[in-house]
């Protein structure tokens, strides 16, 4: 358990950051799920729209430190290729 005032403050800050990051991660996953569902339904235009909305969320996750840069890039790349494949 935290004993010093500094470590107590750090513990409080960590709890706040954890809550914010958890909400942010959940929000990103929601947007990704919407893209997945649109792809599963086979609707290319809906999937493209959902992907267009999800991409800035992924990028924001990178800037806020919730996701690694390469992870977000990989997810965007794979999703966009799957959306593109629906057209064929």
Q: Which two tokens stand for residue 23?
A: 């909400």
CATH code for the domain defined by 5-87:
1.20.58.110
Question: How do residues 17-48 score in pLDDT, each as one tens digit?
Answer: 999 999 999 999 999 999 999 999 999 999 99
Neighbours of 83 (CB within 10 A): 21
Q: What is the model's pLDDT at position 10?
A: 96
Tell me the whole-structure pTM to 2 decimals: 0.87
Q: What is the model's pLDDT at position 26?
A: 98
- Could you give the CA distance from residue 20 to residue 29 in angstroms, rounded to a whole number? 14
- Could you give the CA distance from residue 71 to residue 62 in angstroms, rounded to a whole number? 9
Question: How do residues 50-78 score in pLDDT, each as one tens digit?
Answer: 999 999 999 999 999 999 999 999 999 99
Q: Which two tokens stand for residue 13?
A: 């800050």
Q: How far is CA 61 from the centre of its chain?
A: 6
Of 2, 32, 29, nearest in space to 15 by CA:
2
């Amino acid at each position: 358990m935290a004993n010093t005032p500094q470590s107590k403050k750090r513990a409080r800050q960590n709890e706040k950051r954890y809550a914010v990051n958890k909400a942010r991660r959940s929000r990103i996953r929601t947007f990704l799920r919407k893209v997945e569902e649109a792809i599963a339904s086979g609707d290319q235009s809906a999937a493209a729209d959902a992907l267009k909305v999800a991409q800035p969320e992924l990028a924001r996750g990178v800037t806020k430190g919730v996701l690694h840069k390469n992870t977000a890039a990989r997810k965007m790349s794979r999703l966009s290729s799957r959306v593109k494949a629906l057209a064929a």
